Amino acid sequence: MEISREKLIENIKALSEKSVLVVGDLALDEMIYGDTERISREAPVLILRHTYTKYILGGASNAANNASSINSGKVSVIGVIGDDYHGADIKKAFQDAGISCKYIVEAKGRKTITKSRISGSCSHSITQQIVRIDSQSDEPLPTNVEKQILKNLELAVPEHDAIILSDYHIGTLTQKVIDKAIKLANKYKKIIVVDAQKDLDNYKNITSMTPNLPDTQKHVGRRLETRDDFVVAGKYLISDSKAKFVLITCGGDGMMLVSPKESYHIPVFNKSKVFDVTGAGDTVTAVYTLALAAGAEPVYAAIIGNIAASIVIREFGCATTNIDTIIKYIPAKIKID
């Protein structure tokens, strides 16, 4: 298929015009750094002298952060945080990123989803992660919290051009929340894209979904190797979800966009030594959704998401990009089949 560079640039510039609502498992990555001093006398463990702590938006929050880096002030989130000190930390991180958190629900006694990574270094070594501590509540959402999320969806969906359902399966996206979000999106004719790791058949009548290869293979119950395999799997997902089209992300092998009548393989652009793929899927989903909301054809939206992902994997942790950088990294030649 011939890809117009001018049309691609036009679609990318239009990304900043649209607003996005991200609904899902809001998480905070707490990065704690220190310098190694000595071994403790109490136990055979390192003693670190704390240098600084950095907060990064993770989980569904990362999808919102990626969207906000492109259209700051036009992104909102719906999810649950706890009444703990990390709840205040994640709110501040959202505010610093230009993301509205007025639709967040605070649940008493519930833990804010937090992944704390403690890393250390000395003068003659690189910084290395020593331990990671995960904090989250595994209990189902309290009925009153779920009801508040449903009310907030009624208020928020009409105000936004697109909705992303980002499901890390930590409890926010109950079936009632999923069904309500989709019903409202369709009622108000909004783009709605799903990024879920499993239970893909929980989502019906959506615009698109962006499963990765392992999750797609689990869902269809077979390995995908040939192009025909991907097309069959994509159509299977479309049949299950009633989606208009599906974007299967395949890491170093690119992406496969499948609709009922067409399919396109989109290769990896700007190949380089990968630093960190953490959060790259969130980048694809956020940028792809923005592009669809801005009126880009699905294949152009997928290409834009692909380019954005090729940029963020060059940095460690959950990184973001912006319109000027995406345009800068448009390949000289774009060939898809």
Measured distance CA(219)–CA(245) in Å, rounded: 16
Measured distance CA(104)–CA(80) in Å, rounded: 6
**276 DSSP 8-state letter:** -
pLDDT tens-digit map of 288-330: 999 999 999 999 999 999 998 888 765 555 566 789 999 998 9
At residue 81's C-alpha, the angle toward residues 80 and 87, to 5°, is: 160
| Residue 282 appears among annotated catalytic residues | yes
Query: What is residue 277's predicted lDDT score, i.e. its pLDDT?
Result: 44
Measured distance CA(238)–CA(218) in Å, rounded: 15
Determine how β-strand 191-196 pairs with β-strand 26-39.
unpaired
Measured distance CA(116)–CA(25) in Å, rounded: 16
At residue 18's C-alpha, the angle toward residues 13 and 19, to 5°, is: 140
pLDDT tens-digit map of 192-245: 999 998 889 899 999 999 999 999 999 999 999 999 999 999 999 999 999 999
Contact by Cβ (8 Å): 66, 282: yes
Contact by Cβ (8 Å): 217, 224: yes
Single out the catalytic residue among 89, 229, 282, 337: 282
Q: What is the DSSP string of 110-154?
A: PPPEEEEEEEEE-TTS--EEEEEEEE---SPPPHHHHHHHHHHHH
Place of tokens 């108000």: 188
Query: What is residue 125's predicted lDDT score, i.e. its pLDDT?
Result: 74
Query: What is residue 282's predicted lDDT score, i.e. its pLDDT?
Result: 87
Query: Which is more confidently placed, 278 or 180?
Result: 180
Q: What is the pTM of this model?
A: 0.93
Residues for the chain: how many in total? Answer: 337
Alpha-carbon separation of residue 253 from 119, 130, 226, 320 (angstroms): 32, 32, 12, 21
pLDDT of 279 > 80? The answer is no
pLDDT tens-digit map of 50-81: 999 999 999 999 999 999 999 888 999 999 99
Domains of the chain: 5-27+58-113+138-328 (3.40.1190.20)
pLDDT tens-digit map of 91-134: 999 999 999 999 999 999 999 999 999 999 887 778 888 999 99
**253 DSSP 8-state letter:** G
